[in-house]
A and B are shown apart, each in its own frame.
Chain A
Amino acid sequence: MDYRLSQLKQLEAEAIYVIRETAAQFERPVLLFSGGKDSITLAWLARKAFWPAKIPFPMMHVDTGHNFEETIAFRDKFLSDMGARLIVASVQDSIDQGKAQEEKGPNPSRNALQSITLLDGIEQNKFDAALGGARRDEEKARAKERFFSHRDDFGQWEPKNQRPELWDLFNGYKHKGEHFRVFPLSNWTELDVWMYLHEENVPLPNLYFAHKRNVVNRDGVLLAENPFISLMKGEAYEERMIRFRTIGDATCTGAVESEADTIPLIIDEIATTRTTERGGRADDKRSDSAMEDRKKAGYF
């Protein structure tokens, strides 16, 4: 008898184990849902983990207000089909309440402001664990993350002094006011996520598939036309065949030129590509430790 599991099945089993462990160890977990493929995968796995019961915790979308319309429409349909409860934490509210301040410049990004809204949302709802779809292959600071990542009462990450994490024994003990970030997809790569979405036939926003759209080339990043950015001198929109490799704040999520309009074509494209998926993220280009610095301050 051959008792082997394919690598995707092993990753699935590991993620489901981590999601169940979160539900068991914490009183008020929440799943951070952005409408991107990683959080879609995470929600899909959460549904499997507790089936035939409903997912025993809500989803929270940290909404920058700078969305692609398609993302919001997709979010509402996907989660209601699943019977999940959605909480929206709005960056605009944080700005209106004076807790956050809008950046200045030609493409003011609300990416960094998300941390404030996220921590606020966690505090107001008294969440003690936030499940996220971050993967270790995305970025070098994320390669250092534990599955159960402790945050102090300011929501800060202490990367130099993380709790040892052995075998599959996860230590979720904490003091009042502290919380955990939990990353069930830690060991997945971009390619794994796509192969899994394909194998499981999971619905996805159209933004991921090649389509025609007006874009502007700014410092090598193709930004889609949207009401939240303004053209600088000498810039103009032009129509190109593009798709998005990640879906985030519309002001800093770069598109790639692509003809890939099905998952198998996307998989082929990724298998031969020579840049990382965050290569199109203007927010990561700000410095060598941009991600580590944002993570320490409470970012996803």
Chain B
Amino acid sequence: MDLLRFSTAGSVDDGKSTLIGRLLYDTKTVFQDQLDDIERTSAARGDDYLDLALLTDGLKAEREQGITIDVAYRYFATPRRKFILADTPGHIQYTRNMVTGASTVNLAIILIDARHGVVEQTRRHSFIASLLGIKHLAVCVNKMDLVDYSEAQFRKVVEEYEKFASKLQIPDIRYIPISALRGDNVVDKSDSMPWYEGSALLYTLETVHVGNDLNHVDSRFPVQYVIRPQSDEYPDYRGYAGRVSGGVFKPGDEVVVLPSGFTSKIKSIDTPEGPLTEAYAPMSVTMTLEDNIDISRGDMIAKPDNQPRMTQDIDLMLCWMNDKPLQPNGKYRIKHTSRDARCVVKEVKYKVDINSLHRVEGDASMGLNDIGRVHIRTTVPLFNDPYTRNRGTGSVILIDEFTNETVAAGMIL
């Protein structure tokens, strides 16, 4: 079976919880004891109806305030696919948690209230999805029941969104008129909107093609761990363990090891069940090479005719995620693939107003939830690719050297 990771973002009133509740309920993922639990809690709070948001808001503080603070992960399956849903907060102050949830997904659901059209939150979510390189968007125009299932109203919202989305880099955008409350076009196609010729949301989720989302062209293997059994059975075994982040590796392939630049050939790709004939993203494997070269964690195995950039001066789009603002010329730890280094932030080139998508120049400060283009210099070279070409070798995080907190996420340009 196949796997789709997707995210939803939004606040309580745009019907996100109802939508998720419906997906879980209609795919029989909500169990009787969970329903009993939320019935009990709903009744104790004096709610008039069953609050499906209680299913997704897992923390005490979230249930008290009726908002989503942190990402919650939900799992469901249909006969076609397994789904991992990252339910992320929509409030601006929790943008960092939204970025966390959206960083690993194939598809993002953007919910728009049919009565209100595109609002600030829609723009922010869409921009972040685009920034994170999400290739598929399902724009769900919700609460169609409240606008009499009007095709004209749906078209108006779609047109408004298209105008804004032309500034984004998302190749696949689909528009679906739904009513999460009544179940129109969520799991089953609705009879109330005969003018809509597309498919229901669940069918879209089941069939969207995500096979090309991973890079199977540029061979990249960051060495994560060196395996040396030093046992009688394997006295001289030296295996390089890691997760393929791009391309394909086969025994016999000529490879180059960075940063040393030495070349060798792949001798074997090993698993306890026997050797493999090839390895590709996102497989976790162990490789051995023909020659005895000094290789350790943080090194990268690639192909001689297709190597990543090896640079210390790097431009990236940075999303600041900490209450403590960016220190001008500040030094941070940086993590990139299996490599740990330090870096200094040399310059903030511009910030992005995430509502208008306009560049704001001449403001070098970056605080919580700010997104901007920065220039950094690292203590050692990073073997990198543009984020748009490879998420794995194009992403970094910055860590405060004193608090050890993750303070920023960066996408290499």
Q: B60: CB under 8 A from chain A?
A: yes
Q: Which residues of the partner chain A approach B60 to less than 8 Å between Cβ atoms?
A: 289, 292
A144 at the interface (CB under 8 A from B): yes
Q: Contacts A164-B409, A173-B399, A274-B31 given: A4-B338 contact, CB under 8 Å?
A: no
Contacts of A10 in B (CB 8 A): 3, 282
A12 to B103 Cα, complex, angstroms: 20
**Contacts of A21 on B, CB cut-off 8 Å?**
224
B70-78, B148-156, B191-199, B341-349 - the one binding chain A: B70-78
A24 CB contacts on chain B under 8 angstroms? 224-225, 297, 338
> Could you tell me which residues of chain A, from 155 to 196, have a CB within 8 Å of some CB in chain B?
159-160, 162-169, 171, 173-175, 186-187, 189, 191-192
Residues in chain B near residue A52, CB distance under 8 A: 227, 229, 231, 233-234, 237, 239, 270, 272
B230 to chain A: which residues have CB within 8 Å?
53
Residue of B whose beta carbon sits closest to that of A9 = B283
Closest partner residue, chain A, to B387 (CB atom): A167
Q: Does any Cβ of A come within 8 Å of B220's Cβ? A: no
Interface size class of B (residues with CB under 8 A): 35 or more
User: B404 is contacted by which of A8, A48, A144, A171 (Cβ under 8 Å)?
Assistant: A171
A129 CB to closest chain B CB (Å) equals 14
Q: Which of chain A's residues 126-178 have a Cβ closer than 8 Å to chain B?
A: 136-137, 140-144, 159-160, 162-169, 171, 173-175
Considering the chains assembled together, what is the distance between the CA atoms of A189 and B103 in angstroms? 21
Chain A: interface size category: 35 or more
Chain A nearest CB from B316 CB (Å) reads 13
Q: Does A47 reach chain B (CB closer than 8 Å)? A: yes
Find the B residue at minimum CB distance from A277: B31
Determine the residue in chain A with the shortest Cβ distance to B98.
A164
Q: Is the interface of B mostly helix, strand, loop or mixed?
A: mixed
* Contact for B99 among A9, A17, A164, A276, CB less than 8 A: A164
Knowing A54-B229, A143-B72 touch, does A187 contact B77 (C-beta < 8 A)? no
Q: Is the CB of A187 within 8 A of B216?
A: no
**Closest residue to A163 on the B side, CB-wise?**
B406
Say which one of B33-41, B259-267, B377-385 lies at the interface with A: B33-41
Interface positions of A (Cβ within 8 A of B): 1-14, 16-17, 20-21, 23-24, 47-54, 136-137, 140-144, 159-160, 162-169, 171, 173-175, 186-187, 189, 191-192, 273-276, 279, 288-289, 292
Nearest 9 A/B pairs, CB to CB: A140-B58, A7-B3, A53-B229, A173-B404, A16-B284, A279-B33, A166-B103, A13-B284, A274-B32
18 A-B interface contacts by CB (under 8 A): A3-B211, A3-B214, A6-B1, A16-B243, A52-B231, A52-B270, A54-B229, A54-B231, A143-B56, A159-B70, A164-B406, A171-B397, A189-B77, A274-B31, A276-B31, A279-B33, A288-B63, A292-B60
Residues of B within 8 A of A (CB): 1-3, 31-34, 37, 40-41, 55-61, 63, 69-75, 77, 81-82, 84, 96-97, 99-100, 103-104, 211, 214, 216, 224-225, 227-231, 233-234, 237, 239, 241-243, 248, 270-272, 280-284, 286, 297, 321, 333, 335-336, 338, 391-392, 395-397, 399, 404-406, 409
